[in-house]
Structure 1
Amino acid sequence: MKIVHVVYSLEMGGAEVLVAQLCHLQREHGHDVSVIAYSNLGTLGEKLLREGIPVLVLGEAPLPRTLLRFLKEFRRMRPDVVHCHNPAPTLQAAIPAKLAGTRSVIATRHSLVAPPYNRGEEIAFNFAARFCDWIVGICDATCENLRRTPGAHRNRIVRIYNGVDPLVPPPANTPAQRPGTTLLFVGRLAPIKNLSQLIQATANAIGHVPDLHLWIVGDGSERPALEAQVQTLGIEDHVTFWGERLDVAGFFCAADIFGMSSTSEGLPMSLLQAMSVGLPAIVTNVGGMAEVVRNAHAGLTAPVGDADQMTKAIVQLTSDPAQRELFRNNARTAYREHFTLEHMNASYIDLYQRRS
């Protein structure tokens, strides 16, 4: 099949990493795969080009002009499948794809789509989704939220869990595993990630676990405020900001616990990467990440904004090796059975070939 993935940009992010991995696997399976980005190429786009996967950047423009650009490209490319990732690409590409005669048009929502809804945005998305054969939610919570949006096409909404490649420890240039317990976060340093809760919980837990360390891998607008919080709490020796990294396998393999304190979350790639190497997780009780951690019995959850409960979870896991080992085994098993990239790709290929 000729498959075109449509994204807003290819800057580093969970959905973008997923798209890049999906492109590689679909190409390995013999499909003709390319990507169209609306805004800019980004770090991942540059990497895809180096690896021989075509990437076209349209450039930002008013919606009417963007629709015409997509129509022109789809008529030229004549894809069998157009797979739109998130609302803006769906709004921009779904209608032109159908007008160009594309057989299968898919839209995936990679977020939780949590209420309260932006009514205007959801009405616009659901209008564009009329031209999609299927709308994919990446966890049960996302699907349920999508069904409640104004104008939702409930009979076209299906769940496909995200999947990732298993992490393999790199041979060199990896952070050394240090004495004590290392708590790891990997992701964007954005307000929605609510990292201040994880940092506060770490500071609280140090009184009980003096050799606790927090590694923060990623970058974003919140980094200066988070660094200031670390200094104010006086825990600079316990927290390391590593910045944005393309290869994160070494961090996951050297850590002991994965932590995420988002206020809203679908099913983050970093959680699935952690599960692939058997890291137990401590996450806030939101969306797909809590859904997966609970169903897999692979970690502990805490309420959003409750640093004390997250502190208790950190102390509990660091002081109970038997529970950590149970969660490790459960995480690996759940990953192999439900969250591999192969499993996700097979579900999408089946969907590409199904009629709504």
Structure 2
Amino acid sequence: MTDIPLVVHLIYRLDFGGLETLLVERINRMPAAHYRHAVVCLTDYTAFADKITKPGVELFALNKQPGLSPGTHAALWKLLRRLRPTILHTYNLSAVEYAPAAMLAGVPVRINGLHGRDAGDPQGRNRKHNMLRRLMLPFYDCCYANSADMLAWNRTVIGVAENKSRLLANGIDADKFNPQGGAVRQFGPETIVIGTVGRIQDVKDHATLLRAFVLLHARLPQVRLAIVGGGPLLAALQAQAAQAGVADAVWLPGARTDVADILRGFDMFALSSIAEGTPGSALEAMASGLPVVGTRVGGVPEVIADGVTGALVPPSDPVAMADALERYVMDAALRLEHGTAGRARVERHYNMAAMVAAYESLYDALCEHKKQFRKSAKSCVE
């Protein structure tokens, strides 16, 4: 039996996405001699799991059905009893309720990460959801957030104590995502390509981005739009493009594994989300030397320096989005200036190695605290 602590990561589904990408990066990059890892999916996983390259990482699917599922709690308890991890690391609201099962299974350290909110509650005002979060607080040793906005919300709205919360910023592989190298460009050199990458779901609000593009394309026929990603709303987005008469000017390839090359084929990046933590896709675009037009929600203003690395616009406002994009379409020098500044910002503030080290430091501190607590408790009993 190895003495290396095991971290079990509990996630709703392992599929193409920003949270999932950074989870896999941390697993692959964290020194094998320090922590072992297993990933438990409440529902299931896709071929995205192949991105886990570290040997010995086990993957489990609990096949949870929609709605209340008491059997999932029992299944997780049994699995944790068998795996005997040192840490349970849950992600977002969808996994927050499983800390009691972990405590009953004897998992000493329990962590929840707030990486964003759902489209149905972008401002975090759902009373039932927030009550659940509050009820779970005693079962967690730390409830961190990946943006200052989310951290403040966790403390003021949910009531997470300062000593049980911290900011863990996202990191980007600036060697992989860079302006140089091969590029995938679906449209000709005479066009200006607005691109975005992300799972096509409600919270990303690609429908507003497409409406903004329709307005812009009517004024500037040379513009093109690329929306890269799979998801439940892909077919609806394809239908929207066709109905608007811009299907030939919009590229919707679904999920791709060559995102770094695709980003180098864009002229600018757009982020139309109605809720975000720290958007990894925007950071990847900035690392690739692209100016970013994003919505003023969540942690986006912490990432995009308005007027320096990109532009911020209100959410769900296609006119404002179109106007901001038009400024970059019309000014190649501005695209270069803001894209270069974005690359520098990522290198200074969103380093991948620093992100991995911060998570490992959190694991170390909580494990050491629990070790000292157990020693103290044992001494009191004696």
TM-score (norm 2): 0.84
Q: Name the counterpart of 2:71.
A: 65
Q: Which moved more, 1:149-158 or 1:318-327?
A: 149-158
Give CA deviations for 1:322-350 in whole Å, capped at 9, x if unaligned. Answer: 32222112211121122232221111111
Cα pair distance change 1:43/1:268, threshold 3 Å: farther
Q: Which moved more, 1:233-242 or 1:281-290?
A: 233-242
Q: Is the Cα–Cα contact under 8 Å of residues 185 and 258 in structure 1 kept in the other structure?
A: yes
Rounded to whole Å, the distance in 2 between the matches of 1:91 and 1:247 is: 35
Give CA deviations for 1:285-311 in whole Å, capped at 9, x if unaligned. Answer: 111123210279310011122222212
Q: Is the Cα–Cα contact under 8 Å of residues 20 and 44 in structure 1 kept in the other structure?
A: no
Q: Which moved more, 1:74-83 or 1:26-35?
A: 26-35
Q: Is the Cα–Cα contact under 8 Å of residues 145 and 166 in structure 2 kept in the other structure?
A: yes
Q: 1:9 aligns with which of 10, 13, 17?
A: 13
Q: 1:174 aligns with which of 179, 184, 188?
A: 184
Rounded to whole Å, the distance in 2 between the matches of 1:174 and 1:330 is: 23
Q: Name the counterpart of 2:157.
A: 149
Where does structure 2 lack aligned partners over 5 or more consecutive residues?
370-382
Aligned to 2:123, the other structure's residue is in SS state coil
Q: Name the counterpart of 2:134.
A: 126
Q: Name the counterpart of 2:344.
A: 333
Rounded to whole Å, the distance in 2 between the matches of 1:233 and 1:72 is: 52
Rounded to whole Å, the distance in 1 between the matches of 2:164 and 2:306 is: 25
Q: Name the counterpart of 2:314.
A: 303
Cα pair distance change 1:88/1:195, threshold 3 Å: closer
Q: Name the counterpart of 1:221.
A: 232
Rounded to whole Å, the distance in 2 between the matches of 1:187 and 1:276 is: 16
Say whether 1:276 aligns with 2:287: yes
User: Which amino acid in structure 1 is aligned with residue 103 of structure 2?
Assistant: K
Identity of counterpart residues, as a percentage?
28
Larger Rg: 2
Deviation at 1:312, TM superposition (A): 1.5
Deviation at 1:221, TM superposition (A): 2.9
Count residues in correspondence.
355
Q: Is the Cα–Cα contact under 8 Å of residues 296 and 330 in structure 1 kept in the other structure?
A: no
Give CA deviations for 1:125-167 in whole Å, capped at 9, x if unaligned. Answer: 2222322111111111111222233554454221111123233
Aligned to 1:10, the other structure's residue is in SS state coil
Cα pair distance change 1:321/1:350, threshold 3 Å: same
Q: Is the Cα–Cα contact under 8 Å of residues 107 and 129 in structure 1 kept in the other structure?
A: no
Say whether 1:75 aligns with 2:81: yes
TM-score (norm 1): 0.89
Q: Name the counterpart of 2:171.
A: 163
User: Which amino acid in structure 2 is aligned with residue 220 of structure 1?
Assistant: G
Deviation at 1:259, TM superposition (A): 0.5
Give CA deviations for 1:250-275 in whole Å, capped at 9, x if unaligned. Answer: 21111111111112222222112112
Q: Which moved more, 1:202-211 or 1:233-242?
A: 202-211
Aligned to 1:56, the other structure's residue is in SS state strand
Rounded to whole Å, the distance in 1 between the matches of 2:142 and 2:7 is: 15
Where does structure 1 lack aligned partners over 5 or more consecutive residues?
none
Cα pair distance change 1:218/1:29, threshold 3 Å: farther
